[in-house]
Each structure stands twice: as C-alpha cells, then as structure tokens.
Chains A and B, each alone.
Chain A
Amino acid sequence: MTRHRDPVRHGDVLLKPIARIPKGDRKEIPREHGRPVLALGEATGHRHVIVGECEAVTVADRAFLRMIERGQIVHYADPAHSAVSTDHDTLAVPAGAYEIIQPRQYLYGEQVRVQD
C-alpha cells in the first residue's frame, strides 16, 4: 500500500504527489552543483533547489520530480548555493513522485506564469 503524501508548497513551487512520472520523452531539468533548480526568481536571483537524491525531468512540457529518498527543498539566495534565503524556510520532501506546479495568474483574459 502506498503511504499517503500531502502536497508541499514552497513559495511559487507546489509539489503535488502523484503515483509515478508519466511515460514519454524525458528532458532533465537543469541543475546547479548537481541539484535541480525548480524555479528561479527573475527579480531576486533566488532559486528553489532540491537537495537529495532525485530525478527531475520534464515530460511533454510538464515538470516532475521523483525523490529517491527523503530530501529537502531549499531557497538559495545565490548561484553558489552558499546562502539560504530568509524568504522561505527549508521544507522536507518525502520520497516518491511529484508533479512540479508553478502558479499562473489571470490578467486581461490570459493566463500568465507567475514570476518572482
């Protein structure tokens, strides 16, 4: 029996638990220092990064994460990953598969990706 997992929200990144990453052509999400960067703040330079053994890919323009073991999502303030930002606390991410959802907003009849 699969253990129940709740979603994890880290600023403008929501990790929604799913059974498995769908089949299809997989493209790896770019990494820094070996860690996948799930989102990058245009105005702040901060980044949401997964720390821990994992697979992070896109399949048909949707993004997915599979934590091989329990890890963390961390908000780093710099490209060197030397300083954790004070904007978002570090959260635990249990093992398992997730869809990575970034919010959109609605403006003038169109959906626009939320940037920070």
Chain B
Amino acid sequence: MSKTDLERYTEACEYPGVLDVEGVEGHLREYLRALGVKREVRQLASGWSVETSPGLRRYIDRFLAEFTKRRAALAALHALAARAARDARAARAALDALAALDALAARDALDARAALDRLAQWCIHGTWWYWGVKEVSWLAAHYIGALQMRADSVLTWSRPMYEAYLSGCWLLHWTDDTLYWARKPRVFTEEIGGRRRLHREDGPAVESDVEPLYFWHGVFVPAPVVMQPDSITVKDIIEETNTEVRRVMIERGGLEKLRAVAEVLDSVTADDSTVPFGVRDGRLLRLNLPGEPLLFVDVANSTPEPDGTRRRYLMGVHPQCRPLLGDGEYGEAQNLTVRNAVASLYGLRGEEYGPAGEA
C-alpha cells in the first residue's frame, strides 16, 4: 500500500471536503459494473423529494404496501409508540409510515408529500451514524485493507468506491432500479478526550442534503431539544424512554420544571460506602403530576466525565418498587428505597443487587 492512498483517504475524512459530481457518478458506475448489477446512478441533492425521484417513489410505495399488509400489527406498535417509545427511531419510522398512510387515505396531497419525504429521509439515513453500513467511508476503507491483503477480488469493487469517496460521496441508498447517493455533509463537532463528537448549539450538527440531524454533546436528539429548549415539558421528559435523550432534555430545559413537581422519598449520600457504587448519590422521587403520581429513581453514572462531573439518569420505577421481570411479570413489593429501586430495574431485589464492578 502506498502511503499516498492512506493520506488521501484521511484527507477525505474531513467533511464536507471536495465535491466532484461527475467523478462520483463515474466511479459509482464502475462500482456497479464490478458488482455485475445494473442501476441508474442519481444524486440526492438539496431540495430532492419523493415526488421528483421516481425510483425512490416506487421504493416507498412498496415499503408502504408492506406496511399496509401489517397494519394490524402496526396499530399495536402505534399505541406503544405513542405512550412508551415516542422518540425511538424505530417507533418514529412506524409513526411516519402510518402518518403517510393516513395522509394518503385522506388524499391530502401536501401532507402526504411531506410524510412520504419524511419516511424516505428515515429510510435513507437509517442507522448510518452508528452502523456505518451505508456510509461510503466504511465501504471505501475496504480498499485500504484489500491493498494490504493483496485481495484482487476485493480491489475490483473497493477501488471505485474509494475513488467515489475521495470525490465527495457520503451515503448510498439502493432501490430496485436506482443507486442514489448523497454528498458529504457539513458537520459540527467538539473535541473531548482527544476525539471528536457531534455537537452544535444553534442548529443541526449534521447539515446533510438528506435531512438535518441534531446532536447535543454526541447524543442524537429531536430538533426542539437544541433549538427550543424552553418548550420542553415535564410530560416530554417522562415520555422520552431513551435515557440519554431524557438526560439531555433535563439538562437543556427541564430541571427546574422537574424540581417543581418532585418529592424526595429516599436519598443516599455520595460517600455512603454501605451501598453499591451505582446507588450512591441517588434519589427516589415521586413526581406529583395530575392523575397518577409517578416514581422515578435519579442516579449518577459510576464513571465520571473527563471534567469530574457525573451524568445523571432518571428512570421510571414501579410504585411499589416491584422488580421488573419482563413480559408483564413483577416481583414482590419492596420498601421504597434508592437501592431497591435501582435493583428493580434489573429484575432484582435490593438485597440481590451488589455488583463487584460498576462503570
């Protein structure tokens, strides 16, 4: 492997970098030839929509047709999504798809178009940022490995992918007749512990032609958490089931609102060596909201941040601290203590919970 190949790859990892549309499309056609498949190559440029992308329209129509077949199952998911997993990406996809179906059924062309575009954005972005399966940097890196291993069969397809990456290609999305691609986004990061993570305080941390994405200190969050933190309500915080997103919501605008409705039932000091580390500095809270009061345990992460502070997490607990055994099963009631509450999250009783190592 020549050093130049690795250096060129490293330079191309600085986004957005150069964009050579003709170069990208030429290399992608070469990639298709190497794979022995036929596809049209099209860029998803800023302002794209499902309506103006026939291949994508057919892909989404088939996607929705499959969803329609499974509508009964989705109705259950919809109920769950609305109550328990509102902002989980999988549930969001289902909600978006259902919204699109509803819009189609209502024949409201404008709403339907927006919903279809939203669904297509989700399909294209998918899980790129933590799986990397559709991200071209991941595929292009195979070229470096193939050079080292002298794997000619891998070089055949990875070299054009590598060149496409150097020309500015970032994401791929396959349909039956088209290979769509998107250029590298503009990204905003901060450096923590010698590595970068996505973060921006006044806009999307990933400015992509596919969809703007918002991150707060490395956590992927809904746009209002960054742009309108004052709009975050206690209800929003409670109904957010992702503990990282919930933590950010509290930090961004929810702390005082939570304090106003919280009653401390039990607390453990930070230096109490009689309890496991993960229980220390914890509090069991009752949130006195209209309707059913809710119990939450508020605990600190066992591993401190580089600046010495500890992240705090809020998690819902059974009103009688019953261990959560899954499948709707519960253990016996326990006293309302922080230790019992933390143990119950893992399906254990307080006396069973005593990890030797915690991080």
Contact = CB atoms under 8 A, between A and B. Distances in A.
A and B are interacting partners: yes
Interface stretch (B4-12, B69-77, B103-111, B240-248): B240-248
Contact of B359 (A83, A91, A104): A91
12 contacts: A7-B356, A8-B356, A10-B359, A43-B242, A44-B219, A45-B129, A86-B193, A105-B315, A106-B295, A106-B317, A110-B83, A115-B243
A7 B355 contact: yes
Contacts of A8: 355-358
A41 interface: yes
A86 B326 CA distance: 30
Given A9-B278, A110-B84, A104 B221 contact: no
Interface of A: 5-12, 14, 16, 40-45, 47, 75, 77, 79-80, 83, 86-92, 101, 103-108, 110-112, 114-116
Interface of B: 83-85, 88-89, 129-132, 138, 192-193, 195, 197, 218-221, 238-239, 241-245, 278, 292, 294-295, 301-303, 305-306, 311, 315-319, 324, 326, 328, 345-348, 353-359
B324 A111 contact: yes
A10 B311 CA distance: 14
Give 9 nearest A-B pairs by CB, closest first.
A45-B130, A6-B356, A103-B345, A105-B316, A89-B359, A9-B355, A43-B244, A88-B359, A104-B324
A80 B244 CA distance: 22
Given A87-B301, A89-B303, A104-B345, A14 B355 contact: yes
A9 B85 CA distance: 24
Nearest to A15: B355
Contact of B303 (A87, A103, A107): A87
B356 A86 contact: no
B345 A7 contact: no
Given A108-B83, A115-B243, A42 B88 contact: yes
B130 A79 contact: yes
A8 B346 CA distance: 12
A44 B218 CA distance: 6
A104 B219 CA distance: 20
A83 B191 CA distance: 13
A112 B326 CA distance: 9
